[in-house]
Amino acid sequence: MAPSLENNPAFNRIPPWVKAKLRPQAIEIIQRVYDWVETECIPAERVVQAQLQNNRWKTAPLIHELRKKAKAQGLFNIFLPNHFKESPGLTNLEYACCAEIMGRCYWAAQTMNCHAPETGNIELLAKYCNDAQKEKWLKPLMDGDMSSAYSMTEPDRASSDATTIACSMKRDGDELVINGRKLYGNSQMNDELGIYILMGCSDPENPNPWARHTMVIVPARSKGLTMKRNLTIMGYDHAPEGHGEYVYENVRVPAANIILGEGRAFEIAQGRLGPGRIHHCMRLIGQTERAFELALIRCIDERKKPRGKLIGEFDSNIERVAYMRMRLDSMRQIVMNAADTMDIMGNKAGRYAIAQSKVLIPKMAADIIDECMQIWGGQGLTQYTALPEMWTYARFVRLADGPDSSHAHQVGRDQMKTAKGFETRHKQYQQRYHELCKQWNVEEDIF
């Protein structure tokens, strides 16, 4: 039903340099993802809404069915980059093209098991778990048989600086005893939730602040673990996944659940967050494209003719549409480059490109979607379109995985370190200027 790749807009917007890097098998998957999202997901959005109305904390039956179908068709877990042995084989760049398309529908990624926090968690488990752990947790996650949560943020700490994380983990024999409070991490109310990947402080006195923390897998129904409330985001409950606020009171977990080793949480955290951040950004672009399409559709709505002109006939809106288009395409360049950088140089070397995406894209996305809502006029903020949910998701990503400012500070501090080199270079210019003044018999201008 969906238009074929050659004349489909999602494919045409891919920059030439990216297209040139896509292997035939990737192009085929992109086309299949596009058909899937256009045919199975977008038209079903209101069906899913209706199903959730009845049973707020259960995955909608339609989504369950789609997950089965997608798995059967090999469209499952395609986010996992090709350097993992469990990977279906796409590069980060190739997956980026898929992720953008998935972003067009809020839950499309979920039908392909490519949604947050699953992707970050699966990549983490694939990278750092031993075989026994993988068998126990990675397999069911990749099979889509359970879901997982990532639990780091705390209400009583500035979690953007993860060294302040305080949730206490004390070793007691071959168990860890956990006490503390956590924010975010999916809601316990959804009974498909199987595990939390929890970051806590196991060695608070360690002189090295990067060696104090540990990551451990906590079964979702552990004794002593209670969910205090579901966190709403701009009023949305985000059911049936939700965002829990948790209290740990003497929760006991086998030490065998520790990932990589005690005190190695930062090693893991650094590896985890890169791709996850990029996935968010990729999907945001797809979502913003869809918002843009909705704005365009409004622009030619014959029922809306203030002062006798279509909305799209106003020069001011023509300019708005142009700037939205140009910004959107800039966003894509930024994210595609980050994905490509990860492919070529690895996640660690790509840290800056990832931060650049994480800081710039969600803000631009939210701004563009906001403008689309405004173009829609009186109906722009209502349930007439998915624009309000889209804005909320973009806004949310400005805080998820660290607020803008913490990433910007990291980038800024790194830049400051380069200043010395430029100063040295500047002095070399001055020295050469001195020579040139002599050579050309010009009076030196000293500042």
Residues 312-351 that bind a second copy (CB under 8 A): 312, 314-323, 325-327, 329-330, 333-334, 337, 340-341, 344-345
The dihedral built from the CA positions of residue 39, 43, 49 and 52, taken in this order, carries a sign that is negative
Member of 95, 106, 107, 391 binding a second copy (CB under 8 A): 391
When binding is defined by CB under 8 A, the residue of 62, 78, 195, 354 that contacts a second copy is 62
Q: Is 24 in the site for a second copy (CB under 8 A)?
A: no
Judged by beta carbon, residue 154 or residue 262, the one nearer a second copy is: 154
Q: Is 23 one of the binding residues for a second copy (CB under 8 A)?
A: no
Question: Residues 93-122: x/- map of binding to a second copy (CB under 8 A)?
Answer: ------------------------------
How many whole angstroms separate alpha carbon 114 and alpha carbon 135? 20
Residues 227-266 interacting with a second copy (rule: CB under 8 A): 229, 231-236, 243
State which of residues 211, 227, 239, 381 lies at the interface with a second copy (CB under 8 A).
381
Binders of a second copy in range 420-439 (CB under 8 A)? 420-423, 425-426, 428-433, 435-437
Strand 213-219 and strand 193-201: the pairing is: antiparallel
Least separation in angstroms between CB 293 and a second copy: 4
Q: Is 299 a binder of a second copy (CB under 8 A)? A: yes
Of residues 134-163, which lie at the interface with a second copy (CB under 8 A)? 153, 155-161
Residues 169-198 that bind a second copy (CB under 8 A): 183-184
- Residue from 46, 121, 127, 354 touching a second copy (CB under 8 A): that is 46
Residues 6+ apart with CB under 8 A from 44: 62, 66
Contact 79, 26 (CB under 8 A): no
HEC-encoded secondary structure of 353-417: HHHHHHHHHHHHHHHHHHHHHHHCHHHCCCCCCCHHHHHHHHHHHCCCCCCHHHHHHHHHHHHHH
CB of 52 to a second copy, least distance (A): 11
| Cβ neighbours for 104, distance < 8 A, ≥ 6 positions apart | 10, 37, 38, 41, 42, 286, 287, 289, 290
| Nearer to a second copy among residue 173 and residue 447 (C-beta) | 447
Any residues with CB less than 8 A from the CB of 363 and at least 6 apart, and which? 398, 404
Instruction: Determine if 6 is a binding residue for a second copy (CB under 8 A).
Output: no
CA–CA distance, 171 with 255 (Å, rounded to integer): 8
Give ∠ CA 227-230-233 in degrees, rounded to 5: 150
CA 209 to chain centre: 27
Q: Which is nearer to a second copy, 28 or 161 (CB)?
A: 161
**Which lies closer to a second copy via its Cβ, residue 136 or residue 325?**
325
